[in-house]
Amino acid sequence: MQECSSCRAKNPDRAQYCNACGVALSTIHPEGESRRLVTVVFCDLVGSTALTERLDPESVRAVLARHLEAIRTIVERHGGIIEKFVGDAALAVFGVPQVHEDDALRAVRAATEMRKSLAQLNEELARDRGLTLETRTGIASGEVVSGDPSAGHAFVTGSVMNLAARLEQSADPGQILLADETYKLVRDAVAVEEMGSLSLKGIGPVAVRRLVSVSSSASGHARRFDSPLVDRERERILLQQTFDRVVADRRCQLFTVLGPPGIGKSRLVEEFRRTVEARSLVLQGRCLSYGEGITFWPVAEVVGQAAGLTEADPQEIARARIAAVLAGVDQAQLVADRVVEAIGLSTGSAAPDETLWAIRLFFEAQAARRPLVLVFDDIHWGESKFLELIEHIADWSRDVPIMLLCLARPELLEARPGWGGGMVNATTILLDTLQPEETDTLVLNLLRATELPPGLSGKIVETAGGYPLFAEEIVSMLIDDKLLVREGDTWVAARDLSEISLPQTIAGLLAARLGRLSSEERTVLERASVIGRDFSAAEVSALTVAAERSHVQELLRSLMRKELIRPARSSERSVPDAYRFRHLLIRDAAYHQMAKMTRAGLHERYAGWLVERRGRRIDEGEEIIGYHLEEAHRLLRDVGPIGTHVSELGRTAGEYLATSGRRAFERGDLPAATNLLRRAADLLPKDHPAHLETLANLQDCMFMSGSIEEATVLLDDLIERASHAEDEELRSRAELDRLWLEFTTSPLGSTVQRLGETLEAVVTKLEQRGDERNLATALELLATVQWCSGDSGAMLLQSERSLALARKVGNRRTVAGAASYVATALLAGETSCSLALARLQALMREIGDDPVAAAAVGLHLGQLLGMVGRFEEASARVAASRDVFTGLGQRRWLADTASKSGLIARLEGRFDDARRELEQSYLYYRERHDAANAPTSACDLGKVLCDVGEYQEALVLSKYAESKAVSHDLEPQVGWRCVRARALAAHGSPAGSEALAREALGLVKSTDFVNLHADVLVDLAEVLIAVDRKPEAAEPLTEAMGLYGRKGNVVGARHAASIDARIA
């Protein structure tokens, strides 16, 4: 037992958290450890050995100390820290302990300034000692684990440290080399020289660029404004109305656009600027996130634009140009002096209020000539005095048309909660995310495309979460990484893009946003991220130490005010005090900044809380519990070593997932079942009692979802393992599955006769053993043999017996197939349509608790309704089944649905619909080499093509069906002959066409397939009419009408009668 240091409670040895108070017990994970995206700068002096040879050691020490102290000052001014000095080398890190969204850009600017600082030192060294120094610098960005140095842990660790060092070693004296990830983060603010790929020791080939220069004010990633603005109509109207009011009333208006980063504030304002710049003067400035002397930086930018200043202008010229703008203004010289001082072109000691007054008069002078729109971006970074200036202008400007348009993140209101409050001339709006369809439009606009590869647009939309910037960055990343390439006029995915990683530009932005939270807020957000996108206050409390649980609700409300989470709608989470992350990426950022050991412990603890809370009635919660244990196992395995506790976590997770996967399979949810069972099979030990059954269930899922190759490989392995384990029931199940798989996919390797003989022996063996579960499956397969042989009566008996057994033993995997065979036999055989309809309606009620089985029967019910002319009911019935199969991912059943829908459409005379549906079914089966279904689907499609006169295509299909159909499979053998007979007859081949039609008639005459028999007779009549032997067609038509009448097939009888009337 281990004792909790907080409350002294006793806990099991393997416990990681105290069961009484929740305090962490594990000593493996250092307190304060986290994962961060950082940028590392490695800077080393070149030729320092020569320096020691030419100077006294004390002089060398003084020079180096001055150089390294300058580096420390520069790094800290740009928001980084010195990780360590190693001799005359410096290792700086940007992103710890404080994260900034522009850490990479800060690092690059710091490196440039370090080089300039050395140049200044070199002037003195060259003058006083006749020597100069040079440095080499490498900069790289990537993920690290940051520890707590006060506790003796390494401050940061990660491969990016080594990459920066290797880049430094590869640089020439004076060079700064950028790794590819760093360049991507700063590319719009730097000029570089491409250096291709360098092979770095211990790392391999790396794309490298030499830094030429960096802008002092540009953003690392410039926004794109070249695609049409999507949505924001209400906001545009409001902006336009405000501008019109400014012009009409000649009054200042303050308009603030709030929104989290990436929501589209800049894009909205850019669109507005384009609409008003013809009627106004638009000046734009931006607050910087850090730096010295930046209080009035935005003012300097707009004054420079108004006066036409350049960086090269000397002070007197700049002063003169500013004074020229103020021509005619009272005290113009004083105003000019104060403005020049405010923007840093000269020094002065003016009172703060006088500075605000002067800047206001400068802007009023502009507005007196032409309406003025002042756009100030990122004012949440603005110094207090600058924000006072904005409010001063809004309060005191009179009789001049000035529109103050400010853009800010919601945290502005944390620093100044009264922003705009009490002003009648102030408006504040909050931008919300785009709707999914609007984001989809944006993505297409960005790519200048009308469509994208299937599923890709939806994945981008889902990942972007309604944030325009995120969509832009994801699209840019996919193109830059050559994952999305243009071929002609279309975009093509270079590989599977079902999972899209997060661009580092967005990851850094989100990490910086979370970095501004208090430690308590961040802890609560991290706990919530372990639970998922949706979570409740009670769940977060369960993962919080006891001493802090009382503050959870208050902290959640604070996070809600900061637009990081929101209350969950009842449709999203029906529990008290439920919340949802406003964006899935916020959840991901909070989750991934925790150390893996921390995450693992929280996942395990949450799973334990769920088990304890639900007791023995876990039900559908098994999947959630399994997921959290699985994540705990994966994370602990990543950091290693794998001990008893980690193995036990994997085993327990596998048990939960296997049970949940079986439940999903039983309710027919194939995608969920496949996913869960595959994960369970990977986690369960090979000797676990449930492992083989899990593999068997997984094989069923693969077969039913069309993954035939995977199913075949798994079956062979399963049979071998079952034999080795002496599990006769499982081995019989697998061997039955292999029999069916061989029959459906290998027309030359299996025949109906051979399968029937094998199954008869298997049925006897299973009856003797009392294995009712496998017996139900064997009888289902035997019913298939009888169908292929044309004996619907025997098929009905065997399938009804199979259905009864399957329901008795709970073999839901067989229920749907057996029920479908019952329906097939009733549809094809001697049972009249009226009796068959009644029987199928009753059967649907009996098996209503099995949605897949009921929907399968519903397909045949729909076809029967079509045969009696109740087409609207027929289509509705098939549509209902389609909805079930779509929702459950039942692709094989969806192919059968398309087939039945096509047959009904053909009965109704809707040949275009029939062709579309039957093509879908045919292509599905053909792609999967399904010898049991593809030939029949080809024949059904061929008949429709004959109906519409496309005989050449029909001939091609008949040849495919002939080559693939099993020799003893009646329906396709009859079908390809009828299709070819009609096609040849239309091409004037009387002898060959009639012979084929009569061959087909000979095959079907000895069966009890009433409908098929009648259909062949009609086809024979069509052939005789086509070869100009109309009188002979009367006899088969009369016989067909008799068979249709006996069956109650109203539509078939009507069709035969119409042909008969045509030749009378």
Reduced to 3 states (helix: H, G, I; strand: E, B; else coil), residue 892 is: helix
Reduced to 3 states (helix: H, G, I; strand: E, B; else coil), residue 17 is: strand
Instruction: Kindly indicate the confidence band of residue 20, based on its pLDDT and cuts at 50, 70 and 90.
Output: low
Whether the per-residue pLDDT at 703 is higher than 80: the answer is: no
Helix (H) or strand (E) holding 990: helix 990-1005
Q: CATH number of the domain at 34-214, please?
A: 3.30.70.1230
CA dist 791 and 779 (Å) reads 15
Whether the per-residue pLDDT at 86 is higher than 80: the answer is: yes
Q: State which amino acid sits at residue 429.
A: I
Look at residues 680, 686, 769, 677 and name the one whose alpha carbon lies nearest to residue 729: 769
Whether the per-residue pLDDT at 489 is higher than 90: the answer is: no
How much is the pLDDT for 720? 81
Q: Which of 83-97, 177-191, 291-305, 322-336 has the highest mean pLDDT?
A: 177-191
Rounded CA Rg of the chain: 38
Look at residues 969, 537, 439, 957 and name the one whose alpha carbon lies nearest to residue 752: 969
How much is the pLDDT for 747? 52
Which residues is 136 bridged to in the sheet? 44
Instruction: Kindly indicate the confidence band of residue 665, based on its pLDDT and cuts at 50, 70 and 90.
Output: confident
Instruction: Kindly indicate the confidence band of residue 8, based on its pLDDT and cuts at 50, 70 and 90.
Output: very low
Whether the per-residue pLDDT at 442 is higher than 80: the answer is: yes
CA dist 480 and 274 (Å) reads 30
What lies within 8 Å, CB to CB, of 471 at 6+ separation is 439, 442, 443, 446, 460, 461, 464
How much is the pLDDT for 426? 92
- Which residue spans within 519-593 are E strands per DSSP? 534-536, 565-567, 578-581
Look at residues 407, 363, 360, 367 and name the one whose alpha carbon lies nearest to residue 388: 360
Instruction: Kindly indicate the confidence band of residue 708, based on its pLDDT and cuts at 50, 70 and 90.
Output: confident
Q: What is the pLDDT of residues 764-807, one digit of tens each?
A: 888 888 989 889 989 988 898 888 888 999 999 999 999 999 99
Lowest mean pLDDT among 590-604, 684-698, 993-1007: 684-698
Question: Any idea which residue has 């089944």 for tokens?
Answer: 881
Domain residue spans of the chain: 34-214, 233-430, 436-501, 505-512+519-593, 691-895, 929-1063
How much is the pLDDT for 6? 42
What is the arithmetic mean of pLDDT over 547-565? 89
Q: 929-1063 adopts what CATH topology?
A: 1.25.40
Q: What is the pLDDT of residues 905-936, one digit of tens each?
A: 999 999 999 999 999 999 998 988 777 789 99
Which residues is 44 bridged to in the sheet? 89, 136
Q: What is the pLDDT of residues 964-986, one digit of tens each?
A: 887 778 899 999 999 999 999 99
How much is the pLDDT for 836? 95
Whether the per-residue pLDDT at 60 is higher than 70: the answer is: yes
Exposure string for 882-899, b = 16+ CB within 10 A, e = fewer: bebbeebbbbbbbbbbbb
Instruction: Kindly indicate the confidence band of residue 706, based on its pLDDT and cuts at 50, 70 and 90.
Output: low
What is the arithmetic mean of pLDDT over 266-270? 91
**Helix-helix angle 456-464:468-480, to 10 degrees:** 130
Instruction: Kindly indicate the confidence band of residue 615, based on its pLDDT and cuts at 50, 70 and 90.
Output: low
Look at residues 583, 596, 580 and name the one whose alpha carbon lies nearest to residue 506: 583
Q: What is the pLDDT of residues 503-534, one digit of tens each?
A: 777 888 888 888 888 889 999 999 999 998 89
What is the arithmetic mean of pLDDT over 701-706? 74
Look at residues 867, 873, 874 and name the one whose alpha carbon lies nearest to residue 1053: 867
Question: Residue 246 has which token pair?
Answer: 């400014």
Whether the per-residue pLDDT at 1022 is higher than 90: the answer is: yes
Question: Residue 682 has which token pair?
Answer: 């990977």
Contact at 8 Å (CB) between 527 and 602? yes
How much is the pLDDT for 272? 94
Whether the per-residue pLDDT at 152 is higher than 70: the answer is: no
CA dist 719 and 731 (Å) reads 6
Exposure string for 659-668, b = 16+ CB within 10 A, e = fewer: bbbbbbbbbb
Reduced to 3 states (helix: H, G, I; strand: E, B; else coil), residue 587 is: helix
Q: State which amino acid sits at residue 530.
A: V
Q: What is the pLDDT of residues 28-48, one digit of tens each?
A: 333 467 888 899 999 998 877
Longest CA–CA span in the chain (Å) reads 124
Look at residues 738, 935, 731, 704 and name the one whose alpha carbon lies nearest to residue 813: 704
How much is the pLDDT for 712? 80
How much is the pLDDT for 403? 96
Q: What is the pLDDT of residues 369-419, one digit of tens each?
A: 999 999 999 999 899 999 999 999 999 998 999 999 999 998 898 888 889
Residue 636: Cβ within 10 Å count: 25
CATH top-level class of 505-512+519-593: mainly alpha
Q: What is the pLDDT of residues 858-884, one digit of tens each?
A: 999 999 999 999 999 999 999 999 999
Fold agreement (691-895, 929-1063): yes
1040-1044: which pairs have CB atoms within 8 A and are 24 or more residues apart? Answer: 1040/1014, 1040/1015, 1041/1014, 1043/1010, 1043/1011, 1043/1013, 1043/1014, 1043/1017, 1044/1011, 1044/1014
How much is the pLDDT for 217? 75
Q: 691-895 adopts what CATH topology?
A: 1.25.40
641 prior amide bond cis, ω within 30: yes
* Backbone phi and psi for residue 95, each to the nearest 5 degrees, phi listed first: 130, -5
How much is the pLDDT for 19? 64
Helix, strand, coil percentages (3-state) for the chain, rounded to 5, are 60, 10, 25
Q: What is the pLDDT of residues 710-722, one digit of tens each?
A: 878 888 888 888 8
Contact at 8 Å (CB) between 931 and 746? yes
How much is the pLDDT for 11? 65
Exposure string for 322-350, b = 16+ CB within 10 A, e = fewer: bbebbeebeebebbbbbbbbbbebeeeee
**Percent above pLDDT 90 for the chain:** 48
Lowest mean pLDDT among 106-115, 218-227, 430-439: 218-227
Instruction: Kindly indicate the confidence band of residue 618, based on its pLDDT and cuts at 50, 70 and 90.
Output: very low
- Between 640 and 326, name the one with better pLDDT: 326
Mean pLDDT of the chain: 87
CA dist 6 and 3 (Å) reads 9
Reduced to 3 states (helix: H, G, I; strand: E, B; else coil), residue 282 is: strand
**Domain 233-430 homologous superfamily, CATH:** P-loop containing nucleotide triphosphate hydrolases (3.40.50.300)
Whole-Å CA distances, 632 to 600, 627, 642:
4, 9, 12
How much is the pLDDT for 789? 84
What is the arithmetic mean of pLDDT over 553-580? 83
Whether the per-residue pLDDT at 149 is higher than 60: the answer is: no
Look at residues 606, 518, 588, 507 and name the one whose alpha carbon lies nearest to residue 559: 518
**Helix-helix angle 332-342:315-325, to 10 degrees:** 130
**Helix-helix angle 970-986:934-947, to 10 degrees:** 30
